[in-house]
């Protein structure tokens, strides 16, 4: 068992508490939205994850799931609506409009199914 180290501050001896070094991840679009959602709507859960040093890991898990769902949605919706390389070469403006529409719909679906559940 480790001995607890103390530091004298004024008349008090306070324990020196150190957190374990957490692995850092780059948090992307869905991760930032999920973190904000937790912080604003589920404060107790957010602070429990934060104090137990599991917040970043949980955000990374949800973000990975959201990214995977997003990519699969884009692929399936573009196949369903027949948006392909042929359209991209023949009418690039129409292709951009249709792909942007699909991306926006995919984001909304991912937010409702993965982030805000």
| 29-86 residue pLDDT tens | 999 999 999 999 999 999 999 988 899 999 999 999 999 999 999 999 999 999 999 9
Reduced to 3 states (helix: H, G, I; strand: E, B; else coil), residue 63 is helix
pTM, two decimals, is 0.80
Reduced to 3 states (helix: H, G, I; strand: E, B; else coil), residue 12 is strand
92 in any annotated domain: yes
Per-residue pLDDT for 17 more than 80?
Answer: no
In total, how many domains does the chain have? 1
- Residue 55's CB is within 10 A of a number of other CB atoms, namely 19
Residue-range definition of the domain harbouring residue 41? 26-115
80 in any annotated domain: yes
Determine contact, residues 30/114, Cβ cutoff 8 Å: yes
10 in any annotated domain: no
């Amino acid at each position: 068992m480790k001995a607890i180290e103390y530091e004298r501050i004024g008349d008090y001896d306070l324990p020196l508490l150190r957190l374990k070094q957490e692995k850092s991840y780059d948090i992307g679009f869905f991760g930032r939205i999920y973190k904000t959602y937790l912080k604003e709507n589920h404060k107790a859960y957010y602070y429990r994850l934060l104090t137990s040093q599991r917040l970043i890991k949980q955000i990374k898990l949800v973000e990975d799931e959201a990214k995977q769902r997003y990519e699969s949605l884009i692929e399936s919706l573009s196949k369903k609506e027949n948006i392909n390389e042929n359209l991209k070469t023949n009418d690039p403006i129409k292709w951009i409009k249709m792909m942007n529409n699909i991306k926006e719909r995919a984001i909304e679906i991912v937010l409702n199914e993965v982030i805000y559940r």
